[in-house]
Amino acid sequence: MAERQEVLLNPTLTLTFALHWSHRGRGPRTLTFRASERPELARFLLHAELDDDDLSVELTPDLVVELRKEGIIGDRDSLPENLEFNFDLPDDVAYSASSLQPYVNRINYDPVPSGRLVVNPQCYLQCGEHYPVAVAGRVPFAPIVRQDDEVLWVRDPGTEILAPYRISDWRSVAILRGLCGRDDESSSLMDLIRRLGDHDEDTLRRAHVLVPDDYVEARSKQWTMVCEDLRTTLRANDFVVIRGIFNPTQIHVMRRHYRTALELGHFSQRDDPAGKRIVAYNDPAARFLHHQQVALLNHIVPAPIKASYCYLAFYEPGAVLARHKDRPQCAWNLSVPLDASPETDRHDAWPIYVEVRGKAHEVRLELGDGILYPGTELFHWRDAQPAEHRTTVCFFHFVPEDFTGSLE
Ligand SMILES: [Fe+2]
């Protein structure tokens, strides 16, 4: 019988706590301390965090006062609101200066389509908690989408990216059920479309729910050619710019979501010395986008890849991204601006630089465009962002499919 061996904790081990939270009124706060320095606080935090917000650990009155003052505990009114992912299909696509529909979509959009409109055959309606068959297994991190709503899943046949939109409080669900062919009692498709007003039809067209009848074939063919070009360019230049990865309506949803999140003080961690960059690691909504891009990138990179982690950054005026290379989890880095205020385009966007064989290349991206480069091999950076400009960028990281290291 094997003798039981004594197991000891390494005596050199130290446990450090790094707290990041938003104080309602004072904004982002951080606190770092060694567990041995503040054992009472360490015990309370471990219990509260790991046991589902259980705050039953007794605290001394002094510590209660301190934690309340810091906004770590408090009553409902004193703490920031919780954040739900708002993926309502936007119907404010009218072209005011405050519209969140990206400018690129406003100028490239044909308001009077030629030819017949049909419902995108790659548009699927979810009623209740089960994903449509065509979507199931293709949507890692979809729990950001509430499952007690009617969800319209729209697949882009070119990029293979799925976009979810909530429709329950938007328009008649009966019409959409009819549009998606789920309601046998419904009148004909064209009757249903006629029942939509011009504004509704426009909204559905922008989300690619209503499309020209050759859409699937044309879009697939277009992106097959785009990917061929991108593959060749990547091989020659070591980096490549991919235009229009996300549907502008999907960008609209993400902009609205993150602007609300910032207003609510949902994000709190700053990671740069100047304190001009708020960041979020593996934010759930960004993570959903992250995994949707794997199929597209696998048509562009030389060998198969998988997603590792993503990092969301809200850059304030004057923020910089220091020149650096990335860690092994960033073998491929796809950097995508999701918001810019004021909105910029490919001529005046805040540039990112990548250095290839000693030469710096300046790249300007519109919302929903991405630059793909090997983050572990190429230096990359951004100089100071102009005054009064704010930019939200997500870094989506990928590794070779056979990578065995941590994906964190
Ligand atoms: Fe980087």
- The most confident of the ranges 94-108, 168-182, 394-408 is 394-408
Q: Kindly state the DSSP code that residue 76 receives in the 8-state scheme.
A: G
Q: How far is the CA of 331 from the centre of ligand 1 (A)?
A: 10
User: For the residues 148-175, what does the mean pLDDT come to?
Assistant: 78
Assess contact for 253 and 243: CB atoms under 8 A.
no
Q: How far is the CA of 259 from the centre of ligand 1 (A)?
A: 24
Q: How far is the CA of 298 from the centre of ligand 1 (A)?
A: 21
pLDDT at 98 over 80: no
Q: If you compute the radius of gyration of the chain from its CA atoms, what whole number of angstroms results?
A: 24
The DSSP code sequence of 90-158 is P---S--TT--S-HHHHHH--SS--S-EEE-TTEEEEESSSPPTTTTTS-TTGGGS-TTSEEEEEE-TT
Q: How far is the CA of 402 from the centre of ligand 1 (A)?
A: 22
Q: How far is the CA of 191 from the centre of ligand 1 (A)?
A: 52
pLDDT at 115 over 90: no
Q: How far is the CA of 324 from the centre of ligand 1 (A)?
A: 6
Q: How far is the CA of 364 from the centre of ligand 1 (A)?
A: 16
pLDDT single digits (tens) 293-331: 999 999 999 999 999 999 999 999 999 999 999 999 999
pLDDT at 185 over 60: no
Q: How far is the CA of 330 from the centre of ligand 1 (A)?
A: 8
Q: How far is the CA of 279 from the centre of ligand 1 (A)?
A: 13
Q: How far is the CA of 282 from the centre of ligand 1 (A)?
A: 15
Residue 186: predicted pLDDT: 40
Q: How far is the CA of 313 from the centre of ligand 1 (A)?
A: 11
Question: Phi/psi zone of residue 208: left (φ > 0), alpha (ψ -120 to 50 degrees), beta?
Answer: left
Q: How far is the CA of 183 from the centre of ligand 1 (A)?
A: 49
* Residue ranges per structural domain of the chain: 16-78, 103-213, 218-400
Q: How far is the CA of 397 from the centre of ligand 1 (A)?
A: 9
Q: How far is the CA of 326 from the centre of ligand 1 (A)?
A: 5
Q: How far is the CA of 71 from the centre of ligand 1 (A)?
A: 32
Assess contact for 316 and 390: CB atoms under 8 A.
yes
Q: How far is the CA of 244 from the centre of ligand 1 (A)?
A: 22
Q: How far is the CA of 377 from the centre of ligand 1 (A)?
A: 10
Q: Between 111 and 41, where is the model more confident?
A: 41
Q: How far apart are CA 192 and CA 364, in angstroms?
A: 42
Q: What is the pTM of this model?
A: 0.80
Q: How far is the CA of 374 from the centre of ligand 1 (A)?
A: 10
Q: How far is the CA of 346 from the centre of ligand 1 (A)?
A: 21
Residue 27: predicted pLDDT: 63
Assigned fold of 218-400: Jelly Rolls (2.60.120)
Q: How far is the CA of 327 from the centre of ligand 1 (A)?
A: 8
pLDDT band at 187 (very low <50, low <70, confident <90, very high): very low
pLDDT band at 86 (very low <50, low <70, confident <90, very high): confident
pLDDT at 164 over 80: yes
pLDDT single digits (tens) 9-53: 898 999 999 887 777 766 667 789 999 999 999 999 988 888 766
Mean pLDDT, rounded, of the chain: 85
Q: How far is the CA of 155 from the centre of ligand 1 (A)?
A: 30
Q: How far is the CA of 395 from the centre of ligand 1 (A)?
A: 8
pLDDT single digits (tens) 330-374: 999 999 999 999 999 889 999 999 999 999 999 999 999 999 999
User: For the residues 269-279, what does the mean pLDDT come to?
Assistant: 87
Q: How far apart are CA 254 and CA 233, in angstroms?
A: 29
Q: How far is the CA of 328 from the centre of ligand 1 (A)?
A: 11
Residue 368: predicted pLDDT: 94
User: For the residues 56-64, what does the mean pLDDT come to?
Assistant: 86
Report which secondary-structure segment, H or E, holds 404.
none
Q: How far is the CA of 321 from the centre of ligand 1 (A)?
A: 8
Q: Kindly state the DSSP code that residue 27 receives in the 8-state scheme.
A: E
Alpha carbon 199 to chain centroid, angstroms: 27
Amino acid identity, residue 210?
L
Q: What are phi and psi of 108, to 5 degrees?
A: -95, 0
